[in-house]
């Protein structure tokens, strides 16, 4: 998703600054010449430039071309805009993983799955009051959950975990 957002921003920047597409075409042409057409080492007098030197030369010429055509600033602004938009989206997007986990938990609970022993009962529960829950602190004792409209949790369904909890 972030890659597509970045491509859209770069495309809009190219539409606003047509010299940018020309600069990018020239950079790709320089790269293609040095690595696909001129495959041998380049000889300058007594000095030979191998593939590492050609990479440095290609990068230097590309940066010089971007600086001379004043498109380096536009590319930097595009990069900054991409980083800002993607960062803001990452920070502010809704996190739905917990919602999906809660939905799965509720579906399993309604089907009668018992989290404490890890086995689903043979008989499928028809409603919440049919589910029998094992207390993890005292596995021999079972308690039945009961819900009502006035009191969603009865006193029997609430476990005493801390002093003072009824």
Which pLDDT score, from 0 to 100, does residue 151 have?
46
**Of 148 and 76, which is predicted with more confidence?**
76
Assess contact for 3 and 35: CB atoms under 8 A.
no
Q: What is the residue-wise DSSP string for 8-51?
A: HHHHHHHHH-HHHHHHHHHHHHHHHIIIII--SPEEETTEEE-H
CA–CA separation, 5 and 157 (whole Å): 50
Report residue 30 as tokens: 């320089």
Write down the pTM of the prediction.
Answer: 0.48
pLDDT score, position 145: 47
Cα–Cα distance measured from residue 164 to residue 166, given in angstroms and rounded to the nearest whole number: 6
Average pLDDT (91-113) is 72
Lowest mean pLDDT among 34-38, 82-86, 127-131: 127-131
Q: Is the pLDDT of residue 9 over 80?
A: yes
Q: Stretch 99-123: mean pLDDT, rounded?
A: 65
Count of alpha carbons within 13 Å of 157, Cβ hemisphere only? 14
Structure tokens at 82: 């991409």
* pLDDT, tens digit, 9 for 90 and up, residues 57-98: 889 999 999 899 889 899 999 999 999 999 998 888 766 666
């Amino acid at each position: 998703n972030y890659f597509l957002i970045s491509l859209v921003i770069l495309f809009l920047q190219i539409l606003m600054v047509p010299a940018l597409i020309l600069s990018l075409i020239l950079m790709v042409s320089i790269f293609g010449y040095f690595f696909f057409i001129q495959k041998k080492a380049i000889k300058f007098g007594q000095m030979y430039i191998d593939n590492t030197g050609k990479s440095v030369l290609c990068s230097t010429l590309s940066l010089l071309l971007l600086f001379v055509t004043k498109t380096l600033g536009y590319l930097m602004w595009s990069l900054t805009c991409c980083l800002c938009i993607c960062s803001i989206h990452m920070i502010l997007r809704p996190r739905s993983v917990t919602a999906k986990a809660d939905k799965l938990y509720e579906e399993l609970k309604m089907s009668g799955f018992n989290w404490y022993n890890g086995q689903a009962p043979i008989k499928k529960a028809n409603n919440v009051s049919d589910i029998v829950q094992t207390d993890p602190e005292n596995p021999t004792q079972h308690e039945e959950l009961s819900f009502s409209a006035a009191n969603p949790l009865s006193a029997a369904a609430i476990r005493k975990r801390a002093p003072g909890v009824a």
